[in-house]
Structure 1
């Protein structure tokens, strides 16, 4: 019996070559680029903390920085007596509060002020003070912008959001710098007493007048 030659499969060499070439090629993992969304400045913005979904808000770590003199004059302009316990709840909005700072100039002879600051230190606030300096015109002032800026920079590494209660344009640079680090900064102040540059660099801005009803002290309390 004559054996016929085995038929040649012309496709085998090329298929083997293709397989070898594929094995020699490095494995490439395709990673889809995530969609990046930006949050434009808002004025007026939702109340602090409401710019985020419910579940993510609960996981946020926040720190609060209050310019006492600026808040005092804003409240006086609004005819507002602030309940500072309500203020903390309003600003935090169920987020995890790491620290709340209150900055103010002090007159050691003012017993009423000393009593107020003692209450603040016992009710959730870290009080930072500086002696008032009297000027030739008789006015008194203590500038704590440097203290506020340093504390904000230090806490930026530990927080998701920083909340600043001030309208002082001198704090614009530090707020702008912190937002570039990926930390959200919310500014709360009275719009008529707030620097436009500070509003522009903040991630969210809330006019103090819009939350007046939430932080008003109850009569007789």
Structure 2
């Protein structure tokens, strides 16, 4: 297992950058009921690769009202598995020093960071470019090098890539907030886990 050090407090709060003036309407409601018995058990995933849509995870965490502890997240998901790579995809603002500090921490603690510069709209506002192409290409490129791929995203545009990976015999698990996950993505995944059930295991501890 990859050895991790604690993440500096607060550095991730600026990453990923939420798109400004976005027309996308994010759901504001949580499931009305959550039974702790629904929490997933640790699975024997064999050789594991992890693909995290940073912006999607950021929005999910915002909906749950928590900050993600990325050290806990990696440790939790690689239990009873052999982690090969953990990819983290995000748009970046070259002028955001706190964001770069966070990405440096991620690289030093087991993550392979894939970035794309934010785009300036004609109005001067910043917009995060989609990382779906990069995620889909990497999922396909490494499909035969692992037993299980975990995708942390609810974006329905990734359903085709998930289905294609499954056809080569690699198991694909999707982890996301159910209210933010497209039904098409849930349908093609070998296993779907509502990240709400993982909240206590992967959130940052309250600061004293």
TM-score bracket relative to the smaller structure = 0.7 to 0.9
Tell me the SS of whatever aligns to 2:207.
coil
**Aligned pair partner of 1:190 in 177, 183, 197:** 177
Cα distance change, pair 45–97 in 1 and its aligned pair in 2 (3 A): farther
Structure 2 equivalent of residue 47 of structure 1: 40
Kindly report which structure 2 residues correspond to 1:109-188, keeping only aligned pairs within 5 A, or say none. Answer: 109-136=95-122, 138-188=125-175
Q: What is the match of residue 88 of structure 1?
A: 74
Q: Decide whether the 8 Å contact of 1:48 with 1:186 is kept in 2.
A: no
Match of 2:93 in 1: 107
The structure with the larger Rg is 1
TM-score for both structures, normalised by structure 1 = 0.73
Question: Are residues 158 and 122 of structure 1, via their aligned partners in 2, closer, same or farther at CA, if it must alter by over 3 Å?
Answer: same
Alpha-carbon deviations, 1:99-122, whole Å to 9, x = none?
000000000111111111110000
The Cα of 1:220 is off from its aligned counterpart by 3.3
How many residue pairs end up in the alignment? 171
Three-state SS of the structure 2 residue aligned to 1:163 is strand
Q: Helix, strand or coil: the match of 1:77?
A: helix
- Contact 1:49–1:92 at 8 Å: present in 2 too? no
Structure 2 segments unaligned to the other structure (5+ residues) = 1-36
Contact 1:48 1:93 in 2 (8 A): no
Long gaps (5+) in structure 1: 1-43, 51-56
Could you tell me which residue of structure 1 aligns to residue 56 of structure 2?
A: 70
Q: 1:176 to 1:47 in 2, by over 3 A?
A: same
Determine helix, strand or coil for the equivalent of 2:85: strand
Aligned-CA RMSD value: 1.8
Residue aligning to 1:26: none
2:141 and 2:39 map into 1 onto residues whose CA distance is 27
Do the aligned partners of 2:91 and 2:118 also contact (CA within 8 Å) in 1? yes
Distance 1:146 1:45 in 2: 32
Classify the secondary structure of the residue corresponding to 2:144. coil
Q: Deviations over 1:140-194 (max 9, x none)?
A: 1211111101111111111000000000111000100111111100000011111
Contact 1:65–1:102, Cα closer than 8 Å, also in 2: yes
Shift of 1:135: 2.5
